[in-house]
Each structure stands twice: as C-alpha cells, then as structure tokens.
C-alpha cells in the first residue's frame, strides 16, 4: 500500500500492511539478495539526503560495508552524545567497532568511547581505561589522541589524516 506523506520529495513510498507480510517477503530473499538490497538501499538513501545516521549505518552493516557502517555509527554515537544519551552513544560506538574498519575510524570510535566514559561519571572512568590503552597502542607513543576534528574526518570516511579546510 502507498504510504501517506513520503519522506523524500518527489518519491512515492510503499509499505506492507502487516509486519508478518514484510517478514515473509524478506525471508524469501537469499542472503546474497538481502546483502545487495541493503547496500543499494543505503546508497539510495544516502543519495536522497537521509539524515538519520543509524538508518544508514544499519543498511551498510547489513550490506556488509563495515567501514561505511562504522562511519555512520560514529556519527550516530556523536549525535546520541550531543543529545545527552551516553548509553545509546556507547552502544552505537561499540557497534561501529564490530566490523573490519580502517584504523583511523577504529581510533575515532575508541576515542569517543573513552570520552563518554570519562565524562559519564566517576564510576565510569575506569571503563575508559581499556579503550584508552588501545587508542594509545594504535596511535603510537608520542602522537596526539584523535580529537573531535579527527573523529569528524573519520565519520566522513576520510582516513588520510590530512587537515580539512572550511569553504
């Protein structure tokens, strides 16, 4: 059936009348078709201005695009943290770490986890230690930790380490 008030201008959306129909249709797909479908859905949503990083992260994760999923999980974690939801930020950052991701993105996610645990409460501070140790090991002795600008570059998928300039 057609959805009233589509989210994307100029597009028509359809939906299943019942969740069981949706689940049945989804289960009829092969694993390869599901993976491809999620990858294509993520691409389409991205090209049409999807603003929710969790939606994009989940599609790219199911589409077996770990690096892209990780970048969007980083954005989603930062968004949750800005909204004051440390628990959701931690869950999202940890999901971003699950796949095979570039080292700079891994460091950005670990750094964010450190930051969340340090600022959450005194009791949480001890939880930051393993993440801090991994960041230190990955960055190498004498290198500055990856701060907000570095996390922003990682969230955009820029792993070059080069500074960005504002237009």
First vs last C-alpha separation in the chain: 44
Going from N- to C-terminal start, the domains of the chain cover 30-155
Contact (CB, 8 A) for 75 and 53: yes
Name the more confident of 74 and 3. 74
CA dihedral 9, 65, 74, 153 (to 10 degrees): -90
Could you read off the pLDDT of 111-156 as tens digits, one per residue? 898 888 777 765 555 666 677 777 777 666 555 455 554 445 455 5
pLDDT for residue 159:
45
What 3-state DSSP class applies to 2?
strand
Nearest-5° angle of CA 95, CA 90, CA 86? 150
Predicted TM-score (pTM) of this structure:
0.72
pLDDT at 12 over 90: no
Q: State how far the Cα of 92 lies from the Cα of 48, in Å rounded to an integer.
A: 23
Q: State how far the Cα of 68 lies from the Cα of 88, in Å rounded to an integer.
A: 19
What 3-state DSSP class applies to 163?
coil
In whole angstroms, how large is the CA radius of gyration of the chain?
18
pLDDT at 6 over 90: no
Q: Which of 93, 91, 125 is nearest to 108 (CA)?
A: 93
Q: Report phi then psi at 2, rounded to 5.
A: -75, 140
Greatest pairwise CA separation for the chain in angstroms:
59
Query: If you average pLDDT over residues 70-92, what whole number do you get?
Result: 94
30-155: CATH, from 2.30.30, 3.40.50, 1.25.40, 3.40.30: 1.25.40
| Confidence at 56, pLDDT banded by 50, 70, 90 | very high
Query: Quick one: what percent of the chain has pLDDT higher than 90?
Result: 45
Contact (CB, 8 A) for 139 and 107: yes
Contact (CB, 8 A) for 96 and 70: yes
61: Cα separation from own chain's centroid: 9
């Amino acid at each position: 059936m057609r959805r009233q008030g589509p989210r994307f201008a100029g597009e028509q959306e359809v939906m299943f009348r019942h969740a069981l129909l949706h689940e049945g249709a989804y289960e009829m797909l092969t694993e390869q078709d599901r993976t491809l479908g999620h990858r294509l859905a993520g691409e389409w949503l991205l090209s049409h201005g999807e603003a929710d990083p969790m939606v994009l992260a989940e599609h790219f994760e199911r589409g077996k695009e770990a690096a892209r999923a990780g970048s969007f999980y980083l954005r989603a974690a930062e968004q949750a943290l800005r909204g004051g939801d440390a628990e959701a930020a931690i869950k999202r950052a940890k999901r971003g770490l699950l796949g095979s991701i570039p080292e700079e993105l891994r460091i950005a996610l670990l750094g964010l986890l450190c930051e969340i645990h340090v600022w959450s409460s005194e009791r949480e501070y001890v939880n930051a230690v393993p993440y801090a140790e991994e960041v230190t090991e990955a960055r190498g002795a004498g290198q500055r930790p990856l701060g907000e600008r570095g996390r922003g570059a990682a969230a955009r998928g820029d792993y070059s380490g080069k500074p960005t300039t504002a237009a």
